[in-house]
């Protein structure tokens, strides 16, 4: 369950974000199809509930039933304390109306479930030191749009597998699928330590695009010697 994402959706709809956060949110809507799709679904449900539960009496009755709904549909350890009552109403109704879609009880896994970009700490330095340091900092702060052109500048002079890999991850984070997959395909055809990681990220790229069949095929090609093979097995299980 990606709780923070749906709270963010609610805060945007309630116009509670700071100007900077609102700009970042709207940029992500235009650049990340999966994020935009989830937001559109959330917004539609929010509108429907606002219409259905607009009368305070009905809304109150619904909230009184929320505990019972939660017991039936959510794990008892699910965080509910501290969330806004309206968010709880939206979350519970989405779960009921859409087969628990927002809470990852849906049939297919999501990219967000497996998206854990590793920290960058570059081992190779050169005359591009300052630019590489800037790229590393931007990447680790998840400012991928900033990191991408920095990596591209570095790769013109210093084309190492390590830098290519983190460049590819940045591209995938910003949903530049074709460019990202070109990078990962080059790495998986090479002999560097990033060969298996590149295959994993190729699979994640297909997962983010909801191409589940292709994702599964790529996962099945990853060696059992891959350091994070437990994640490979888990995702394959989810796709079965």
- Are both 116 and 233 inside the same structural domain? yes
pLDDT for 105 beyond 50: no
Q: Which segments of 27-106 are extended strands (E)?
A: none
Angle, to 10 degrees, between the axis of helix 3-13 and the axis of helix 33-52? 60
Q: What is the pLDDT of residues 194-221, one digit of tens each?
A: 999 999 999 999 999 999 999 999 999 9
Which among 106, 126, 152 is the end of a domain? 106
Same domain, 135 and 117: yes
Q: How many domains does the chain have?
A: 2
Q: Is the same domain home to 38 and 156? A: no
Residues 54 and 94 placed together within one structural domain of the fold: yes
Whether residues 88 and 67 share a domain: the answer is yes
DSSP 8-state symbol, 141: T
Instruction: Dig out the tokens for 226 from the structure.
Output: 């891959």
Q: Are residues 117 and 84 in the same domain?
A: no
pLDDT at 48: 62
Whether 166 and 84 map to the same domain: the answer is no
Q: Lowest mean pLDDT of 16-25, 78-87, 150-159, 163-172, name the range.
A: 78-87
Phi, psi values for residue 220, rounded to 5°: -70, -15
Residues with Cβ within 8 Å of 102's Cβ and at least 6 positions away in sequence, in order, are 1, 6, 38, 41, 42, 91, 94, 95
Q: Which of 151, 207, 144 is nearest to 170 (CA)?
A: 144
Examine the domain organization and report whether 168 and 95 are in the same domain: no
Same domain, 234 and 149: yes
Q: In residues, how long is the chain? A: 240
Q: Same domain, yes or no, for 92 and 116?
A: no
How many angstroms separate the CA atoms of 221 and 134, rounded?
35
Asked whether the predicted pLDDT for residue 54 surpasses 80, the reply is: no
Name the pLDDT band for 108 (thresholds 50, 70, 90).
Answer: confident
Rounded distance between C-alpha atoms, residue 215 and residue 111, angstroms: 11
Domain boundary among 106, 122, 145: 106
Among 48, 71, 106, the domain boundary falls at: 106
Residue ranges making up the domain that contains 197: 112-239
Q: What is the C-alpha to C-alpha distance for residues 202 and 185, in angstroms, rounded to an integer?
A: 8
């Amino acid at each position: 369950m990606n709780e923070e994402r749906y709270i963010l959706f609610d805060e945007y709809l309630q116009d509670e974000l700071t100007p900077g956060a609102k700009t970042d949110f709207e940029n992500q809507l235009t650049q990340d199809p999966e994020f935009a799709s989830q937001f559109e679904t959330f917004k539609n449900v929010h509108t429907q509930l606002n219409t259905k539960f607009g009368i305070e009496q009905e809304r109150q009755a619904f909230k009184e039933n929320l505990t019972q709904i939660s017991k039936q549909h959510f794990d008892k350890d699910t965080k509910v304390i501290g969330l806004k009552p309206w968010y709880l109403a939206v979350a519970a109704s989405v779960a009921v109306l859409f087969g628990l879609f927002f809470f990852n009880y849906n049939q297919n896994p999501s990219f967000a479930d497996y998206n854990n970009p590793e920290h960058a700490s570059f081992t190779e330095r050169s005359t591009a030191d300052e630019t590489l340091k800037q790229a590393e900092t931007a990447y680790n702060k998840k400012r991928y749009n900033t990191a991408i052109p920095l990596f591209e500048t570095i790769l013109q002079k210093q084309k190492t597998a390590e830098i290519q890999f983190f460049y590819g991850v940045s591209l995938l984070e910003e949903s530049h699928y074709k460019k990202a997959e070109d990078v990962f395909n080059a790495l998986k055809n090479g002999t560097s330590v990033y060969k298996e990681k590149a295959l994993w990220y190729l699979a994640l790229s297909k997962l983010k695009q909801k191409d589940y069949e292709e994702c599964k095929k790529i996962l099945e090609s990853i060696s059992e010697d891959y350091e994070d093979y437990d994640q490979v097995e888990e995702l394959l299980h989810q796709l079965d």
